[in-house]
Amino acid sequence: MPEPKFEEVFGGFQVTFYKDIYTEEHLRELGLNDRQIRAVLYVKEKGKITNKEYQELFKVSRITATRDLSELVEKGILMRVGRGKRGIKYVIQMMQK
- The model's pTM is 0.74
pLDDT value for 18? 66
Q: How far apart are CA 59 and CA 80, in angstroms?
A: 21
The full set of domain ranges for the chain reads 5-92
Q: What is the dihedral angle through the alpha carbons of 64, 65, 66, 67, rounded to the nearest 10 degrees? A: 50
pLDDT tens column, 17-49: 767 778 888 899 899 999 999 999 999 999 999
pLDDT value for 16? 81
CATH level 3 topology of 5-92: Arc Repressor Mutant, subunit A (1.10.10)
